[in-house]
Structure 1
Amino acid sequence: MWSRLKHFRRVLQSDLQAVFDRDPAARNTLEVVVTYAGLHAIWSHRVAHFLYKRRWYFIARFISQISRFFTGIEIHPGAQIGKGFFIDHGSGVVIGETCEIGDHVTLYQGVTLGGTGKEKGKRHPTIEDHVMIASGAKVLGSIRIGRCVKIGAGSVVLRDVPLNSTVVGVPGRVVIQDGVRVQTDLDQVNLPDPVTEMFRTMQAEITKLKAEIQELRKQKTTDSSEKGDEQDELKSLQYTDQN
């Protein structure tokens, strides 16, 4: 029992220290403990998760909703979160039930760690240690984000990301891996429109078919003309023979 309490205390201290390590605006312990909504949300989640694991589902969910009301951060009590977790300016952050988050992970405002539908079982992402997810990014589905990954603001990540990578864009693309820039198209303005491309392909096919039909009609007209000339010539020969 005492060992669990000591472990719980160490985890809370690591969450507090994470604020000072990663937020230059943090001045003193009193200010952080009293005013930082991200810290309030994660500490409330620690309690709710403790109750959730012991099947006190209603109380755990109730605590998470109270925390959501006061902090604007929604963390399902079933989510597993490691030590040193930091949510900076956390309004709008959503973390799903089957999320697994490692140690020393940083999230910014508007981040969603969610699912992609109504599937059962593991349906939310797994975030490994030392990952940074920037403002407004969405990480969706049962995917794995490797260690030391950085996800850019506004990115939408739908596939696994290897460790030591930087991801940007919609959908998310790896642009740096192991310190080496990955050759990729980063044009986020002139993105392809699949609907327009489909209509262009259909229009090209229609134009091609029209040309083939016109060619067949011309060929048919030519054949009919030649056949008519042959019939006229045959009639002329028959008339000459009769005379």
Structure 2
Amino acid sequence: MFKQLREDIQVVFDRDPAAKSKWEVLLCYPGLHAIWMHRLAHKLYKKGWTFWARFVSHINRFITGIEIHPGALLGEGLFIDHGMGIVIGETAEVGKNVTLYKGVVLGGTGKEKGKRHPTIGDNVVISSNATVLGSIKIGNNVKIGAGSVVLREVPDNCTVVGVPGRVVVRNGRKIGDAKITTIDLEHAELPDPIAEMLACMQRRIGILEHRLLELEGKKDGSQSI
């Protein structure tokens, strides 16, 4: 148990430059407290003591602002930064070395029973206020941009942004490779597909204007169209 606690604390130091001391992490990190309380709730849930499991998760939500259903499966190395407003559903599965920021939702899309929440792969970063809905799989080494809404499965090694979420980078740097031990947390430096599309349209319009001037015999551009 103490080995697990030490590993949890080390995860915070590895991914949060604001962490200054072990006592600070131990006492002042609600994301860490939420994970520890969830482990207790999950054990109660597996034993069939669903009321007490939900009661512990409710206390967890009251204290930390993080709502994790006791049935959810959380992998090793999970880091919840700030955490306020995070919701993780009953059948959600979170892989190893995942990072979740404020307001992330791993939710369902309807009243269906069975597996209805997402499965998150290893080494995934989900930025602030991103939402992943439904029984979909998010691959390994994926980054999901802030405010994105992901409704479809995402392959490994991708970056997703937008509403609905679109894959804008694929097969980039593979942070899950065995030779690489760091996790790419640069979730503020993601491509903007809308800005890129507008820039492309602007370039295309310039080309078309120039071609029209040529066809009208106004190659010198002295007259505007």
TM norm structure 2: 0.76
Tell me the residue number matched to 1:205.
none
AA aligned to 1:80 is L
- Match of 2:54, SS? helix
SS of residue paired to 2:160: strand
How do residues 163-182 of structure 1 correspond to structure 2 at under 5 angstroms? 163-179=156-172
In structure 1, how many angstroms separate the alpha carbons of the residues matched to 2:140 and 2:16?
21
Are 2:42 and 1:35 aligned? Answer: no
Name the CA distance, whole Å, in 1 between partners of 2:192 and 2:6. 43
Once residues 185 and 57 of structure 1 are traced to their aligned partners in structure 2, the CA distance between those partners, rounded to angstroms, is 44
2: CA distance between counterparts of 1:119 and 1:21? Answer: 39
Matching residue of 1:206: none
Pair 162,56 (structure 1): closer, same or farther in 2 beyond 3 Å? same
Which of 180, 185, 194 is the matching residue for 1:187? 194
Structure 2 SS opposite 1:167: strand
2:70 aligned to 74, 77, 96, which one? 77
Q: Kindly state the Cα deviation for residue 113 of structure 1 after the two structures are TM-superposed.
A: 0.2
CA deviation after TM superposition for structure 1 residue 12, in Å:
3.1
Q: How much has 1:185 moved relative to structure 2?
A: 8.4
Choose the corresponding residue for 1:150, options 138, 143, 154.
143
| 1:1-243 equivalences in 2 (<5 Å) | 8-179=1-172, 186-187=193-194
How far the C-alpha of 1:9 sits from its partner, in A, is 4.0
Distance in 2 separating the partners of 1:14 and 1:137: 27
Could you say if the C-alpha distance between residues 24 and 176 of structure 1 is closer, same or farther in structure 2, counting changes exceeding 3 Å?
same
Structure 2 CA distance for aligned equivalents of residues 11 and 103 of structure 1: 14
The total of aligned residue pairs comes to 180
User: Could you tell me how far apart the structure 2 residues matched to 1:9 and 1:142 are?
Assistant: 34
Is this contact kept in 2: 1:17–1:84, CA < 8 A?
A: no
Aligned partner of 2:12: which letter? V
Contact 1:114-1:125 within 8 A present in 2 as well: yes
Does the 8 Å CA contact 1:11/1:84 hold for their aligned counterparts? Answer: no
> What displacement does 1:107 show?
0.1
Q: Is the 8 A contact 1:93 1:110 kept in 2?
A: yes
| 1:140 Cα deviation after fit | 0.2
The DSSP-based 3-state class of the residue aligned with 2:135 is coil
Bigger CA radius of gyration = 1
Identity %: 66
CA RMSD, Structure 1 to Structure 2 (Å): 1.9
Corresponding residue for residue 223 of structure 1 = none
Tell me by how many angstroms 1:10 deviates: 3.7
* Runs of 5+ unmatched residues, structure 2: 174-190, 198-225
User: Any stretches of 5+ residues in structure 1 without a counterpart?
Assistant: 1-7, 191-243
**Aligned partners of 2:103, 2:156: CA distance in 1, in Å?**
23
